[in-house]
Each structure stands twice: as C-alpha cells, then as structure tokens.
Amino acid sequence: MQTQLKINGTEHDLDHDPRVSLLDALRNHLNLTGTKKGCDHGQCGACTVLLNGRRINSCLTLACMHDGDEITTIEGIGTPEELSPLQTAFIEHDGFQCGYCTPGQICSATAMLEEARQGWPSHVTVDVTTSPELTDTEIAERMSGNLCRCSAYPNIVDAIRQAAGKSA
C-alpha cells in the first residue's frame, strides 16, 4: 500500500503493508527511532506523537489512516542545537532518569500545554468556564496517559510548569 506521510514537515512516501502501525512505520520504515515502543497496547504513552496538533498513541493507529496528515515526532519538536522550551525545562529539572518515556512525555506535554492555552478543561478542572490553572493536580490528570517507570513525576511536573511560564 502507498501512503504519503508528512512527518516533521517532510513528505515521506511509504510502500507498506496496510497492517503496519504508525509507530512501526516511524521506527522501522522511516528510521525515526525517537518515538519508543513501550507496551504496544496504548497504555504507557511512550509512543505519543502529535497528529495535526493532537496527541495520539502511535501504536494504536495504522500508518495508512494518516495519508496527508501532519505528524510531529520528538525529532520535530527541537534540535540538539535549539531545544524547545519544554525540552530545556526537562533538562533543567531532571525530568527523566532512564529517558525511555521522555520523547512521549515531551510530545504529550507539548500538546497538553496547547490544550490548556486554548482553555480546554480536564476532568479535574474546577471551573470549566475559565482557562484552567496548571496546578500539580491538573498537570497530573492531563499527563495521566504517559507513564514513567522511574517515577520522575515531580520533576516532569516542574518542567511542564516552567515551560508553561509558571514557577516550579
């Protein structure tokens, strides 16, 4: 099957089996290995990427379903020479230990910060008529789809608060 994927601003023509997940297409066919395969069941968030600006688990969707969509992986968020504010905050707050979940955490947090900027409430938002305040509880709820086996959660929350312009 032929699929054209726009990943990190670059068009990729992919000739693949229609059963290939987006995660496997990224890693095995396009050599974009920043996105990690954790559970392969949509439970850990290590494979989180942005699809048209929204976060998804790339292990739960087929590559052929995203012909023409805009996909952003961790490789498209920043570069080693010019990190995104969120990547910088993760380093400054030691928001990782083994680092395996970090690409998914950063992709998810990038989308989560945009959702909060747009005023999207979460399940713990106290007043849904106002923009949510990114408290620790609010961030934890919004990031609950991304697990960290090393339990670096306090540092991840601090990094997200810094990137959001809040004091950590």
Task: Render pLDDT for 33-77 as a digit per residue (tens, 0 to 9).
Answer: 999 999 999 999 999 999 999 999 999 999 999 999 999 999 999
- Encode pLDDT of 129-159 as tens digits: 888 889 999 999 999 999 999 999 999 999 9
Select from 1.10.150.120, 1.10.4190.10, 1.10.3720.10, 3.20.20.70 the CATH code of 85-163: 1.10.150.120
Per-residue pLDDT at 167 exceeds 50: no
Select from 3.40.50.720, 3.60.110.10, 3.10.20.30, 1.10.3720.10 the CATH code of 2-74: 3.10.20.30
From the list 95, 109, 113, 127, the residue with the least C-alpha distance to 45 is: 109
- Spatial separation of the C-alpha atoms in residues 165 and 127, rounded to whole Å: 21
Mean pLDDT of the chain: 95
- Where exactly are the structural domains of the chain? 2-74, 85-163
Q: What is the pTM of this model?
A: 0.94
- Spatial separation of the C-alpha atoms in residues 57 and 46, rounded to whole Å: 8
Cα 153 off chain centre by = 15
